[in-house]
């Protein structure tokens, strides 16, 4: 049986073609309610069936016989067979129509054989004892098992349903006359909406008025509130905290971040897994075994001199216990859980097979700018060269640079702000063309200049640490008061704090860490040394990146981590392409996996989740097939001489228990 049909069977079994399943689970809910209803009705009818069955009466030592009681038993059993067994009877028709017999075929054959034999006994067509009570309890247990399985399937996709429910239904659209409440679907790009404290952002947009912080945990996995001010983007579904803001709508409908996330998650949950191919083949083999062993068991017991009823019971038990329900769920449930779990933590899987390959990665190649680094200039070193300390040196430099918009100047000012320093006022700013800037700070004339200015003035710097920073490719800025050298600053693209932990985690897993950059060799060597990278490739043109990845791929199973734009060819070339820092632009076509958060540590999370996901798949496949090695011989009656006999109902319990175990094991992936 093709296991991919399993959910479709569950949705459709037991009901006429009167409804279509809703994309996000309405049909699943209808089918779930249908199984529950059939289970309840069948269980209620099973009570009088048990009381009227001679076998049960003999076992408990009571007698309940009245005129027509045997025909009442037949009528009740017929209702249970048709109403309770309808999902399986409808299922066998669908499976045989597509020439793919599966679990529904096995159950339908088992209950039909049991019913027809027992009815023939009641009508006097054959001798022996009927087993209507076993038929009824078997159907009850099968319905219960299906119901539990369907709840597990729905539970595995519940995170996706939660994503769907995140988006609010209405928004406060700002108009010339104030604000009006409108349905979200009526918003258009360019509209402005007010988002009050505690409300959810209705669509993707940009803040144009006010400041606040927002909780984006359900969307990006970022646990801390994210500050928002004019110019910052907001994501539909995020929860506004303390401030009231006005945002201009940029994206609506299918273009929004959340809509793209939902589409990616659905696509990944539906995409095929390599392990699924194995499960499909194993399921088909199990069906063949069940039907053939069932037939052999039936024939063997008849030839051994047993009654027709006993042979039918053994054969039915074999077919019931061999039903590959657990096998059909083994991989799809793990896929659903892992994909939803990944989305909740900011990992969007676009290609299931690539995600599964991630468990065997031997090397990860990172792009530098914007991936391992922040992509902005910042102060990496402060070198006091006079009697003042680092903080005072930084205060004076920030005061001089505060009027400039140059990236170096912005980096110096930002460094002072991050240290919480109070920057003094400055005036009479004056540029030194091509060399720096000077200003008066508290009556002192301070200059922030380049090494070229010092050369022109004949000022020598004899400090090995400053010289080493220059050799590393860092930008060095000097601070002077008059001609007195106060100190120096080294600036470079700031290495992310998370990058060190990401590299350490990956190397701890035995994965080699490399870097690919178009930057000069000195800067690349500094970053590689700071992070403890195994290798680096510098001064690589964008057109050459794919070639370098191909070279690495000849030595190792490799992942490429980049921004998904300039690195697109390299992402495609790698065994696993990971786009990092995509923000709200989810649709990065060249990547197999998209990291919503701009955090390189999530690469290690991909490897870990891939390994754990594969382990769960293997565990489920082993359990779903392995228990049959013991169960099938017991069902066939090989230990009947030792007094061990398994009834069809007991076989159904064991079979259902195996599917529940598989479902629970898949859910344990969340732990």
Angle at the Cα of 666 (from 665 to 669), degrees rounded to 5?
A: 95
- Active-site residue (options: 34, 204, 280, 367): 367
Concatenated DSSP letters of 413-461: HHHHHHTT--PPPEEEEEEETTTEEEEEETTEEEEEE-HHHHHHHT---
Which residue, among 372, 306, 325, has the nearest Cα to 560 in the 3D structure? 372
Angle at the Cα of 636 (from 631 to 638), degrees rounded to 5?
A: 90
Told to judge if 367 belongs to the known catalytic residues of this protein, a careful annotator would answer yes
φ, ψ of residue 603 to 5 degrees: the values are -65, -40
Rounded Cα distance, 226 and 246, in Å: 16
Tokens 């590299």, residue?
503
Tokens 């209950």, residue?
111
Strand partners, 347: 595
φ, ψ of residue 248 to 5 degrees: the values are -95, 130
Rounded Cα distance, 480 and 213, in Å: 41
DSSP class of 200: B
Cβ of 36: how many Cβ atoms within 10 Å?
16
Helix or strand holding residue 76 (H, E): helix 69-79
Residue environment code for 309-341, b if the CB has 16+ CB neighbours within 10 A, otherwise e: bbbbbbbbbbbbbbbbbbbbbbbbbbbbbbbbb
Rounded Cα distance, 656 and 636, in Å: 18
Residue 304 three-state SS: coil
Name the CA radius of gyration of the chain, rounded.
Answer: 35
Cβ of 457: how many Cβ atoms within 10 Å?
13
Cβ of 575: how many Cβ atoms within 10 Å?
20
Rounded Cα distance, 390 and 440, in Å: 20
Query: What's the start-to-end Cα distance of the chain, in Å?
Result: 31
Cβ of 224: how many Cβ atoms within 10 Å?
9
C-beta separation of 182 from 171 below 8 A:
yes
Tokens 């928002």, residue?
228
Task: For 549-574, give the secondary structure using H, E and C.
Answer: HHHHHCCCCEEEEECCCCCHHHHHHC
C-beta separation of 154 from 28 below 8 A:
yes
DSSP class of 668: G
Any idea which residues carry the catalytic annotation? 367
């Amino acid at each position: 049986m093709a296991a991919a049909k399993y959910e479709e069977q569950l949705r459709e079994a037991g009901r006429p073609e009167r409804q279509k399943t809703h994309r996000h689970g309405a049909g699943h809910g209808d089918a779930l309610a249908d199984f529950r209803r059939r289970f309840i009705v069948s269980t209620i009818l099973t009570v009088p069936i048990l009381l009227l069955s001679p076998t049960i009466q003999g076992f408990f030592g009571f007698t309940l016989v009245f005129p027509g009681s045997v025909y009442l038993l037949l009528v009740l059993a017929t209702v249970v067979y048709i109403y309770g067994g309808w999902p399986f009877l409808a299922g066998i028709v669908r499976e045989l129509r597509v020439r793919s017999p599966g679990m529904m075929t096995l159950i339908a054959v088992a209950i039909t054989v049991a019913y027809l034999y027992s009815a023939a006994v009641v009508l006097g067509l054959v001798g022996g004892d009927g087993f209507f009570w076993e038929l009824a309890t078997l159907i009850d247990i099968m319905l219960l098992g299906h119901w539990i399985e369907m709840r597990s399937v729905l539970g595995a996709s519940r995170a996706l349903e939660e994503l769907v429910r995140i988006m609010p239904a209405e928004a406060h659209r700002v108009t010339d006359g104030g604000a009006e409440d409108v349905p979200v679907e009526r918003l258009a790009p360019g509209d402005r909406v007010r988002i009050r404290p505690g409300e959810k952002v209705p669509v993707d947009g940009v803040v144009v008025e006010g400041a606040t912080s927002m909780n984006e945990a359900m969307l990006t996995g970022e646990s801390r509130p994210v500050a928002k001010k004019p110019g910052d983007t907001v994501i539909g579904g995020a929860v506004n905290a303390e401030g009231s803001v006005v945002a201009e709508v940029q994206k609506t409908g299918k273009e929004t971040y959340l809509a793209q996330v939902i589409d990616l998650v659905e696509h990944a949950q539906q995409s095929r897994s390599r392990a699924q191919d194995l499960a499909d083949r194993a399921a088909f083999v199990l069906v063949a075994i069940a039907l053939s062993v069932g037939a052999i068991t039936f024939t063997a017991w008849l030839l051994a001199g047993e009654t027709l009823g006993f042979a039918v019971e053994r054969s039915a038990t074999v077919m019931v216990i061999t039903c590959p329900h657990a096998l059909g769920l083994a991989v799809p449930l793990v896929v659903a859980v892992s994909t939803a779990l990944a989305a909740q933590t900011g990992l969007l899987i676009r290609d299931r097979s690539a995600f599964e390959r991630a468990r065997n990665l031997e090397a990860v190649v990172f792009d530098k700018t914007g991936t391992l680094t922040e992509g902005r200039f910042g102060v990496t070193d402060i070198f006091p060269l006079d009697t003042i300390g680092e903080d005072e040196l930084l205060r004076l430099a920030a005061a001089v640079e505060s009027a400039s918009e140059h990236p170096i100047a912005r980096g110096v000012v930002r460094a002072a702000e991050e240290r919480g320093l109070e920057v003094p006022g400055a005036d009479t700013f004056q540029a030194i063309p091509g060399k720096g800037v000077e200003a008066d700070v508290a009556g002192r004339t301070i200059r922030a200049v380049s090494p070229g200015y010092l050369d022109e003035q004949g000022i020598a710097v004899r400090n090995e640490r400053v010289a080493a920073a220059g050799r590393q490719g860092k930008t060095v800025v000097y601070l002077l008061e008059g001609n007195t050298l106060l100190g120096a600053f080294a600036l470079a693209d700031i290495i992310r704090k998370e990058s060190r932990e990401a590299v350490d985690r990956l190397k701890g897993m035995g994965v080699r860490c490399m870097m690919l950059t178009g930057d000069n060799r000195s800067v690349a060597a500094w970053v590689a040394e700071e992070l403890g990278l195994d290798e680096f490739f510098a001064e690589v043109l964008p057109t050459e990146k794919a070639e370098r990845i191909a070279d690495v791929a000849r030595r190792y199973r490799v992942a490429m981590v980049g921004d998904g734009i300039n690195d697109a060819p390299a992402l495609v070339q790698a065994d696993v392409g990971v786009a990092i820092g995509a923000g709200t632009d989810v649709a990065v076509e060249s990547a197999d996996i998209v990291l919503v958060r701009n955090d390189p540590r999530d690469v290690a999370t991909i490897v870990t989740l891939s390994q754990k996901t594969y382990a769960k798949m293997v565990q489920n496949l082993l359990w779903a097939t392995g228990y049959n090695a013991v169960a099938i011989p017991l069902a066939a009656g090989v230990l009947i001489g030792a007094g061990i006999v398994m009834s069809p109902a007991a076989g159904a319990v064991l079979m259902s228990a195996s599917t529940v175990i598989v479902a629970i094991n898949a859910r344990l992936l969340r732990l």
